[in-house]
Chain A
């Protein structure tokens, strides 16, 4: 391994080679599965996890004489995504055939868009530690997914599952604007967040709804010209993308520093060995023989349709963040976290509709997030619903329970989903906030510990904590601490 990776204060990701400092240049081609009940050119279902070859039509399996018919909903989803990426929607686009042979590609070609994509240039704004950064979007186009070849079920045969064959994908190509694994992380998360807000892609990386080809090159710091890039195919998690980038960038630096050249090639990332390997060189690259699919007419998109979709766009993360900062006085950091997922922001808004904002954000970002992490579930799966969270917070705000008791109540809600109010009532967890009752307890303690009272009065201030502790003990922890403090101070004067 050459050099060390340095994260400078200004956030620059630089590789310190033996002969100088290197910058990493990254561009991503993200394949996002369009949220749609049916495929791009057929009526087959697209449910994840169905039995093999149960969601396959004659079109998907390329029977003789079968013809593709565009699914208009998928077109609308692509337009919607384009608008969410602040991109130009092309009124004229063309479906092309990308020709190659593979067992899970029934037609012998993939229908994609080559020269005329449905969406042109756009941009995404990233919130990085050192500030915001805009990443250019080159294009977005629609294409079919292939089926799946399964090589490990039988030693001498490959099985083919065509359930994915023909499923609609959006390929979203970024400009080579990314400079570090962390930027890739933030970019993917932001892109995913935008599409989930729009309802155009569920972003589920485990199910393969979001995958990326990662283009990486390196160049000497300060150099303007781009280096020769390698493309790492089909990486399906952010962690693997980052690992692949770290490995690949260092591999390239090592090569260049030893006077060798980078071959433009397609590589694979081996997640077990944590290394990238050559898949095929430029010379062996497929000649896909793209040409317009004669079975499909060019796509002419009406301006009115674009306007209609535009006017129905939901609030997107950037807009929501601004509003949260303005309306709820969240910090930039807090707002970023809360809007990162639509479900979290929805949860937050439901809680603060009735309840205290400050308590809400602390509880959500604190105990709730911790519990989600523990259980590895999403916010919508938590037993602590927004309504229950609001109840809990209200009980704290009105002094019914202390923050400490609230944590105990939260633990119960988290496991059982019981209503906080009920738990507080049935377990008698309400705070003692009646001054007369508290005075009685305090008087008893002062009476029983006359010696300590003397010591306190003669200057041993630390004993104050002792008295508080005794009160709590006697009240089974239910005494309102604020009141206890007030009364004690008065009595010990």
Chain B
């Protein structure tokens, strides 16, 4: 059999279901790849031994009715996993092992999968290049000196390098879609509330949403089906019946209207991105969809609004990491206040500190109205823009990012330019909408580029269908030469 790790999740699931391959064989193949990797640094914790035991147990009594039976999956280290260290990419949680399982991973295990390892990410999911992780930066398998994007950089890197058949990430401002775009993979951010946040280390509660990262759109549909559920433990979870996204998947998108927002044509955007966008439009037209010019006039305020709302929530969400109950505690300090100060100074990295400071500032009395309240108003306006557009169109097409993967260190000391990388993804989180990034081409360096489709709330099926149709026509080929094994 050809290399199983190069296959899509759907293909592997079908082989297992047809009993043509055993879970143990699949698991061993991925473990072999993981062991051969010397450079990507995509894993924080490897669970090879446990995964093999799980695979063997599965093979003894395989339940083939499940959605993803016998599939080993490595997940972003932001999901709490029972009995397995969960670090959130931070020194603060270096030795933290939860005794509980996040709802999302629990759902995956209930559908027949098991844990292969925990994947590197930006510290507390704050970053766009995976350079803020306490466990070192992750490298993009696309080229040795490039970042995989962030914050789900370890997830994107491991997936693209065939170290896991599929993975999951979280997306607060683009943390699934931007790394997917940088690594030539498919990343879906579902509607806010579709996937439970329970058991995921929180960054910005009103924006955080977990989603699948996969090699194909079909895999994405399958994974979303396994992940999504109403969860009474998450008050913002949407009470909605389960959908069969993968069964209903179709590339027939005839008659659908796709909006092109003129505000997304930003200054200084590389010509290649523009061409990619044009190509997307062309393919949609060929598939029988109609292209409609639309306007999202408040888009230009999205990034500043995001960098007020997200840090504000983060500054409060991260207050619990104080050295009192669990996690890192500094041994310096003579009283409670000093213990706090030293623990948080030594336990958090620079980017996390920067955002806590911004968040604390914008919530301070005297600044609250000017920043936080105003940002919330902007957020509403952005939502209104989308609502208005969706009266006329079924989905919106934009590039996923304004550039391809950049070089390690290139933007590390320039936060603004780093933040600008999320300019196309952030408005979607502010509006709570679903969006998917698919690989759609390559730039001059042969680095992947992604296209983003934005859908109406809870309209994931249509979004997946459109992405599926375009994916079929684009026929993107990854062609990586596995330099990281040398």
Contacts and interface: CB of A to CB of B under 8 A. Distances in A.
Interface of A: 58, 61-70, 97, 99, 101-103, 106-109, 158, 160, 287, 289-291, 294-297
Given A64-B93, A67-B197, 6 more contacts: A65-B197, A70-B235, A107-B320, A291-B372, A295-B205, A297-B236
Nearest to B236: A297
B169 to A, nearest CB: 15
A102 to B, nearest CB: 8
21 contacts: A58-B100, A62-B325, A63-B325, A64-B98, A65-B80, A65-B197, A69-B232, A99-B319, A103-B324, A106-B320, A108-B316, A108-B322, A160-B324, A289-B363, A291-B368, A291-B372, A294-B206, A294-B313, A295-B202, A296-B235, A297-B236
A295 B193 CA distance: 11
Interface in B308-354: 312-313, 315-316, 318-320, 322, 324-326, 336, 340
A287 B96 CA distance: 31
A106 B326 CA distance: 10
Given A67-B234, A106-B325, A101 B340 contact: yes
Contact of B201 (A65, A103, A106, A108): A65
A62 to B, nearest CB: 4
A103 B325 CA distance: 9
B173 interface: no
Interface string B203-242: 0111000000000000000000000000011111000000
A299 to B, nearest CB: 10
A70 B365 CA distance: 27
B31 interface: no
Contact of A101 (B313, B322, B325): B322
Interface residues of B, number: 41
A158 B100 CA distance: 28
A290 B365 CA distance: 9
Contacts of B201: 64-65
B451 interface: no
Given A64-B88, A289-B363, A291-B368, A69 B235 contact: yes
A19 B460 CA distance: 77
B102 interface: yes
B168 to A, nearest CB: 14
Given A289-B365, A291-B368, A65 B198 contact: yes
Contacts of B312: 291
B316 A97 contact: yes
B320 A99 contact: no
Interface of B: 80, 86, 88, 93, 96, 98, 100, 102, 197-202, 204-206, 232-236, 312-313, 315-316, 318-320, 322, 324-326, 336, 340, 360, 363-365, 368, 372
Chain A CB within 10 Å — which of B201, B205, B316 has the most?
Answer: B316
B377 to A, nearest CB: 14
Contacts of B98: 63-65
B235 A295 contact: yes
A160 B324 CA distance: 9
Contacts of A68: 235
Nearest to A62: B320
Contact of B200 (A65, A106, A296): A65
A296 B372 CA distance: 18
Nearest to B359: A289
A112 to B, nearest CB: 13
Contacts, number: 93
Nearest to B309: A294
B235 A108 contact: no
A433 B197 CA distance: 83
B336 A109 contact: no
Nearest to B208: A294
A287 B364 contact: yes
Contacts of B197: 65, 67
Contacts of B96: 64
Given A160-B324, A297-B236, A65 B199 contact: yes
A101 B319 contact: yes
Given A106-B324, A289-B316, A67 B198 contact: yes
A434 to B, nearest CB: 76
Contact of B202 (A61, A64, A109): A64
A97 B313 CA distance: 10
Nearest to B103: A65
Contacts of B205: 294-295
B100 A99 contact: no
Shortest Cβ-Cβ A-B pairs, 8 listed: A108-B319, A289-B363, A294-B205, A294-B206, A62-B320, A65-B199, A64-B201, A65-B80
A390 to B, nearest CB: 50
Contact of B102 (A61, A65, A158, A160): A65
A41 to B, nearest CB: 9
A218 B363 CA distance: 34
A106 B320 CA distance: 6
A107 B319 contact: yes
A291 B361 CA distance: 13
Contacts of B206: 294
A67 B233 contact: yes
B297 to A, nearest CB: 26
A62 B233 CA distance: 14
A280 to B, nearest CB: 14
A297 B238 CA distance: 12
B236 to A, nearest CB: 6
Given A58-B100, A64-B86, A65-B80, A158 B320 contact: no
A103 B337 CA distance: 10
B324 A99 contact: no
B55 to A, nearest CB: 27
Contacts of B313: 294
The residue in B96, B198, B319, B364 that gathers the most chain A C-beta atoms within 10 A of its C-beta is B319
